[in-house]
Amino acid sequence: MTGWSHLVGAPIEDLPSPAVLVDLPTLRRNIAEMAAHTDALGVALRPHWKTSKVLEVGRMQLAAGAVGLTAATANEVLALAEAGIPDVFWAYPPVGAHRVAAALAAAERTRLIVGVDSLEAIAGLAAAAVANGTVVDVRLEIDTGLGRMGVRPDDAVALARVLHALDGVRLEGVYTHEGHVQGLGADPERRAAVGLAAGRTTAEVAEAIRADGIPLTSVSVGSTAGARSAPTASGITEARPGTYVYGDENQVAIGTISEADTAITVQSRVISVQRGEPVLVDAGTKAMSADGSMHGDGRIGTIVSSGGGLIATGHEEHGFVRGSTGLRVGDLIRVRPNHACGLSNMHSHVFAIEDGVVADVWPVVGRH
């Protein structure tokens, strides 16, 4: 709570703006419900911590039954390892000397698994691990339709053989990020079908690798949009949703998170009404995630407080509000951001609130 601890106990109206607010009752409910969902499926839960980058949130997820946490960046991995988080999956290739060094440093403090999709991506870490007298667990990423990273399913067995034979690493499992499910929009049946297909493909690849004589422990899927479908495929052992913990406007827009289950908002203050409309507020692009809206209208946030409307666009420190009513200079608004994960990386801290009062102030760590 360094720097902001004096605000604990204050009403949220007294906070400096813009301020990121996390509603504690909603956060606790989201954590409990996802834990119950994966437990009912018999699937381990390893939330993607990049959504919050808050150690207190990660510890709440672990206390609710998560087997470990997932990370994306070297700074996130080091923050988790230094905080004593016992089991971390780095779902990103360790390319570059700084990532290799981070992996070795983290592996001294925690059980670390690293994701890769090529020999070239792991060669540096493997050589460094050999020189260091250690072995690092790795997972092979499978492209199940997103088209971002991952080996094609038909090429997975051949690459698994190479990784299995490589000194310094141990092939522990396979994983996918079925992020293309979110791009299907507000079509729950299609999302379910595509998510299930991604899970099945990942499980089938794992079975093919096992049939080739290579033992695998983990078969992991990961996304909030696919959390109700991909982990239901037979053979999946782990799920890695991230955004569910906070929720955001994009998940609301496609129907995977309800408005009531969105724990995160940005409190912003009106700074000018000279134009009539747009009204100017102090939440611009440096306070909000600039990630695109699933509404397709370019908004950077949706106003959820009285008067409604949206932040239609923004400059660095200015948000342009349209469609709201009755706003005056000094008024406060609450804004649901497009993308919670991007928003977290923009801020040094968040205010945990309950019943309109600040219950705690949490640092955001592991930022770029």
Q: What percent of the chain has pLDDT over 90?
A: 96
Separation CA 139–CA 160 (nearest Å): 9
Same structural domain, 119 and 153: yes
Q: 122 and 263 share a domain?
A: no
Residues 99 and 210 placed together within one structural domain of the fold: yes
Helix (H) or strand (E) holding 276: none
* Whether residue 83 is found in the same domain as residue 226: yes
Residue 29 belongs to a domain: yes
Q: Are 352 and 338 in contact (CB under 8 A)?
A: no
Do 240 and 295 share a domain, yes or no?
Answer: no
Provide the 3-class DSSP secondary structure of residue 121.
helix
Domain boundaries, position 14: 5-20+256-363
Answer yes or no: do 75 and 192 share one domain.
Answer: yes
> CB burial class (10 A; 0-12, 13-18, 19+) of residue 87?
middle
Residue 368 lies inside a defined structural domain of this protein: no
Task: Confirm whether 270 is domain-assigned.
Answer: yes
Same domain, 144 and 268: no
For residue 206, pLDDT over 70 is answered with: yes
Residue ending a domain, among 187, 217, 245, is 245
> Residue 90 and residue 151: Cα distance in Å, rounded?
17
Q: Which two tokens stand for residue 27?
A: 């956060």
Q: How many domains does the chain have?
A: 2
Domain assignment of residue 43, yes or no: yes
Instruction: Give 126's contacts (C-beta < 8 A, 6+ positions apart).
Output: 136, 166, 167, 168, 169
Q: Are residues 78 and 171 in the same domain?
A: yes
Kindly give the pairing relationship between strand 111-116 and strand 87-90: parallel
Q: Is residue 250 part of a domain?
A: no
How far is C-alpha 158 from the chain's CA centre? 30
pLDDT digits (tens, 9 = 90+) for 212-236: 999 999 999 999 999 999 999 999 9
Could you tell me which residues are beta bridge partners of residue 138? Answer: 114, 171
Q: 292 falls in which pLDDT band (50, 70, 90)?
A: confident
Residue 183 within a domain: yes
Residue 152 forms part of a structural domain: yes
Is pLDDT at 1 greater than 50 in this prediction?
Answer: no
The reply to whether 192 and 338 lie within a common domain is no
Tell me, yes or no, whether 96 and 218 share the same domain. Answer: yes
pLDDT of residue 2: 54
Of 15-24, 127-136, 179-188, the one with minimum mean pLDDT is 179-188
pLDDT value at residue 185: 82
- Can you give the CATH number for the domain in which 70 is found? 3.20.20.10
Residue 3 has pLDDT above 90, yes or no: no
Say yes or no: 215 and 289 in one domain: no
CATH number at residue 344: 2.40.37.20
pLDDT of residue 289: 81
Given a cut of 90, whether residue 90 has pLDDT beyond it is: yes
Q: Tell me the pLDDT tens digit for each residue of 304-348.
A: 999 999 999 999 999 999 999 999 999 999 999 999 999 999 999
User: Does 112 share its domain with 69?
Assistant: yes
Tokens of 87: 């089991």
Answer whether residue 331 is part of any domain: yes
- List of residues 6+ apart from 154 with CB closer than 8 A: none
Under the banding of pLDDT at 50, 70 and 90, the label for residue 368 is confident
Alpha-carbon span 348 to 298, nearest angstrom? 26
Q: What is the spatial distance between Cα 347 and Cα 251, in angstroms, rounded to a whole number?
A: 21
Domain end marker among 213, 245, 277: 245
Q: What is the pTM of this model?
A: 0.96
Would you state the pLDDT for residue 274? 96
- Residue 316 is given by DSSP the state S
- Out of 221, 245, 269, a domain closes at 245
Q: Each residue of 264-287: pLDDT tens digit?
A: 999 999 999 999 999 999 999 999
